[in-house]
Amino acid sequence: MDPMDPMETSSDEEESRTFVQVLSEKYNPENFPYGQGVMVMPSLPGSPVKDRLFLPCSLVLSDSGISKAGDRSDIAAFCVHVAELDLSHNQLKDWEEICAIVSNIPHLDFLNLSMNPLSGVQLEPCKAEVFSRVRQLVLINTHISWDTVHTLTKHTPELEELFLCLNGYNTVSETQTSCPSLRLLQITDNQLQEWAEVRKFGQIYPSLNTLVLANNSVDCVGDTPETLQRLFPNLRSINLNNSGLSKWVDIERLNYFPKLKEVKVKGIPLLQTYTDQERCSLLLAQLPSVVLLNGSMVSVGDREDAERFFIRHYQDCPEQELPERYHVLVSKYGQLAPLAEVDLSPRSTMVDIRWGDKVEAMSLHLEQTVGELRKHVRALLQLPHHGIRLFYINREMCSVFGPEELKCGTRALHSYRIQDGDEILVVPKVKSRCSSSGL
């Protein structure tokens, strides 16, 4: 086919949409009749962009089939006010095209390239400087190589947040150039397993404040106190949800992060055999500096209850099996007496049910209501469904107070202080007759 054939050119353009084309279509004033963001006018003769555009500071061009940048001068003319750019779920697989877009957005602060096919595509260091203004970089499910990650972070001196989820990493590549500006690293849903890989983040990102490792298979926290203090001096939050931690010693080692205040460890093998309350108490007692556990704020009362529970939980264990934390807490609270067992089963008592000359012994569950008692009495005495009245007779005080009618159907029987040997008197309910004469 002739390469100059217009039909072939048209087909190629449909398959390969440009950033400029999508920008023009999405932010055309026809789609924003009341205006949105900043109105910009084309400054170049013959520009393919519409006569004017309403561009917000945050551009969302996700899932638009973009694979190329388009005219660089148009990008520069129309994106001067843009600070945030979402290019996720597109077909960008050439860093040169991505650099052409980014280099012409002078105030870009946030860039999302998630779900673009960047596996095996290397970024040349000489071109990476165009990312220097970016503070938040999202590279989820791009399968970007560690070499390219390091090239990007080396040339983004103000980068604060980096998202590397779903990239299939089972190792972490080291680099001689650290990224001291990074505060948050989210690297969930990868295949990291050994702590020897995780510890590299402390070397690469020495100012790290938040580390999100959820849904990896990290099986331990395997460093000495001195190493953890040195590698993660600023870490305040760590998320190890659904990791492979299976020993309490790994929870204890979290205390070696000198500034750690928030911990998430849901779904780990270590906690599978405990109830929700036991998990919370045992974790909290082991982490004295944590103020946010699994997303919940920790109060002073919560901590004291957890620490007392911890002592009682371990106090019958052999000396050699006692954790170090146990001795610290015993020195704080002393030896605690075991909690008394409380029987929460429904209380019952034996009473006599009297109906005329007929008396039946009945085991009375005191948690039931007066209304429920009426039903049981009818069944016991085989009474018809017409109305009955119930009176409670205290065998010790009946000469002083007399019978007390059980009127309120929703009132619990235990509130009457019924005891063994008391009596329930059953009498038919008599309909009142009122004469209307003379009224």
* CATH number for position 23: 3.80.10
405 and 359 fall within a common domain = yes
160 and 282 fall within a common domain = no
| pLDDT class of 410 with cuts at 50, 70, 90 | confident
What value does the CA radius of gyration of the chain take, rounded to a whole number of Å? 37
DSSP string, 344-355: -SPPEEEEEEEE
Tokens 């002739």 belong to residue: 2
Give the predicted TM-score (pTM) of the model.
0.73
Among 313, 338, 363, identify where a domain stops: 338
* pLDDT at residue number 3: 42
- The answer to whether residue 173 is domain-embedded is no
Q: What is the DSSP letter of 369?
A: B
Q: Helix, strand, or coil here: 23?
A: helix
**Portion of the chain with pLDDT greater than 90, in percent:** 63
Mean pLDDT over 80-99 rounds to 96
**CA dist list (Å): 217 to 20, 142, 225, 248:** 42, 20, 22, 17
The more confidently predicted of residues 140 and 378 is 140
Output the domain CATH number for residue 264: 3.80.10.10
> Which H or E run contains 11?
helix 6-15
Measured distance CA(370)–CA(388) in Å, rounded: 12
Note the pLDDT tens digit of each residue in 35-60: 455 455 554 455 555 456 667 899 99
Q: What is the DSSP letter of 60?
A: E
Question: Under 8 Å CB-to-CB from 279, ≥6 apart: which residues?
Answer: 271
Range of the domain at 397: 348-428
Using the predicted structure, report yes or no on whether residue 409 has a pLDDT greater than 70: yes
Using the predicted structure, report yes or no on whether residue 30 has a pLDDT greater than 80: no
The encoded tokens of residue 100 equal: 């052409």
Note the pLDDT tens digit of each residue in 5-23: 444 444 444 467 999 999 9
88 and 47 fall within a common domain = yes
Q: What is the DSSP letter of 233?
A: T
Q: What is the DSSP letter of 368?
A: S
Average pLDDT, the chain: 87
378 and 359 fall within a common domain = yes
- The answer to whether residue 196 is domain-embedded is no
